[in-house]
Structure 1
């Protein structure tokens, strides 16, 4: 989902303001009912007025209830009922690829969200595809597949990194062209990959179930999962036992930080990963640090 394709979902006055906004690289557009519209870009989180001029939060554009309803309808192709299940999980998949995160008021029963009563915030993510971003990680698989864990705080490019790696290892740019199964629960990894190579995407299904299905039906050599959690561990370990290598990502500052979570610690103890890739943002630049686990 690129900048131009997002504009069709937005209220007209917001689209006009965004076109005039002087930002080189917008990664997120956020709307809040009764609150400021903002974008995340190379300058950080900024607000702006109706003419696209940067301003303070107090003077920034405010989203009305009518504009929020209009945007939600457009994102749902004017059939919100069709998207109720994904909305309950906090997102709306977009027809051109990618997703919009949503939150607001919901009705719960016995610990489960039964329905989303009102959406009051939208976050449209503009994912990018940089083909050779993960070249160094791809070269680790020049001889054979291996397990890699990508670690970064939220919003610092791990999905973009994974998309590049998927492209490289499935098309044989620097390695043999591997059979790659991609678990794309939230419709993010499949978007914008120019050449999908030997890739099989399973979208909109929870990771645990998707891993089991891919392992059983597609005989992948490598499975890629974004943002793994405790619920996924048994399926990942089961897939590993069949000879599949896993490339996964997890939120965190570094390896020491993520290993405080028991499920991550369990995966390290199972020697699932041979390398970690740490992503850190320094100003407007991103640093990628690859570390071999066996050497420590």
Structure 2
């Protein structure tokens, strides 16, 4: 079952209409948006499509199917398995893990406790992300001579393919596609990296915060390389600790076209954990590098890098 259809199967509202959408829309879709009293939107590389009674349309016109606040709350309860408490920690971070492949982002009114998000009420949006598996999308980096054992930081905007690329790198290292296979530990704090097979030598720690995850991996898994997704300002200390432990670290971080203009990226690069910086082109060219910056040099990529 393709990823879009599997995600749609978790959406009781308009499931049949979503499954009946044209294949050309499904194949490029990146997420499905449900917003209170608004048309259902399917967003992807080719822009936004709105669901209608039969098929899709690009025109935001009167009469399109919408989801009322009550139905949206019902959808939220459904993806929580009728138990909000069992997803409490995820909800604090703004999402619900529906299954190993499906993650839904949520919006609403944040409930605060001691300055920390405790949960959400009055859910106003539910966004289902469509994960992709693109075997071979990381080949260009290996063929360009990137030494992942010395660390690599992959930077890009949301939707630019960071997670998909990281997943493929883990698989190639684990399977030994470009040399001897490596023992790889994958810190999958949000349940996205391990949604597809990563090969025989990749061990996945799911739903574990990065700080404790680094320590668990180093003590228990004997990795040569650790991979993790979406580094945040609070992860810098854990990154420095992993670098001092003598393992390669491959990670992603959100940034615009110039990663070094973001303080977080500069701080991460200054830890010494990353010999290589990979900047991605953007959401219109998922997984494709704009440039690769290694020790003392930068390789630019202007043309399509699809592999």
| TM-score, normalised with respect to structure 1 | 0.89
Number of aligned residues: 292
Residues 143 and 5 (structure 1), Cα distance of their counterparts in 2 relative to 1, 3 Å cut: closer
Q: Which residue of 1 aligns with 2:189?
A: 185
Q: Which runs of 5+ in 1 are unaligned?
A: none
The answer to whether structure 1 residue 11 and structure 2 residue 15 are counterparts is no
Counterparts in 2 of 1:119-268, with a 5 A limit? 119-139=123-143, 145-193=149-197, 195-254=198-257, 257-268=258-269
Q: Is the 8 A contact 2:158 2:283 kept in 1?
A: no
Aligned-partner SS, 1:71: helix
1:186 Cα deviation after fit? 0.9
1:94 corresponds in structure 2 to 98
Aligned to 1:52: 55
Q: What secondary structure, in the 3-state scheme, does the structure 2 residue paired with 1:186 have?
A: coil
Q: How many Å separate the matches in 1 of 2:175 and 2:84?
A: 37
Separation in 1, partners of 2:144, 2:49: 38
**Shift of residue 290, structure 1, vs aligned partner:** 4.5
The separation in 1 between residues aligned to 2:116 and 2:53, in whole angstroms, is: 40
Kept after mapping to 2: 8 A contact 1:16/1:51: no
Partner secondary structure for residue 190 of structure 1: helix
Cα 1:34/1:143, change in 2 over 3 Å: closer
Residues 252-271 of structure 1, C-alpha deviations (whole Å, 9 max, x = no match): 123xx332333422332333
Residue 217 (structure 1) shift = 2.1
Q: Distance in 2 between matches of 1:144 and 1:127?
A: 24
Taking a change above 3 Å as real, the CA distance of residues 5 and 261 of structure 1, as seen in their structure-2 partners, is: same
What per-residue deviation string (whole Å, max 9, x for no partner) do you get for residues 22-45 of structure 1?
313222111011122111123212
Mean Cα deviation higher: 121-130 or 206-215: 206-215
Q: Secondary structure at the match of 1:168?
A: helix
Q: Which whole-Å deviations, capped at 9, do the CAs of 1:27-81 have from their partners, x for residues lacking one?
A: 2111011122111123212223122230433433211223213322221223222
Partners of 2:152 and 2:278 within 8 A in 1:
yes
Q: How far did 1:221 drift?
A: 0.9
1:147-175, Cα deviation, whole Å (9 max, x unpaired):
11111111111111111111111111122
- Alignment partners' CA distance in 1, 2:29 and 2:250: 27
Task: Output the CA distance in 1 between the equivalents of 2:250 and 2:91.
Answer: 27
Alignment check: 8 A CA contact 2:138 2:165 kept: yes
2:76 corresponds in structure 1 to 72
Secondary structure of residue in 1 paired with 2:150: coil
Report the RMSD for the aligned CA atoms in angstroms: 2.3
Contact 2:29 2:44 survives alignment (8 Å): yes
Q: Secondary structure at the match of 1:259?
A: helix
- Could you list the runs of 4 or more consecutive aligned residues of structure 1 that deviate by over 3 angstroms after TM superposition? 138-144, 260-263, 281-287
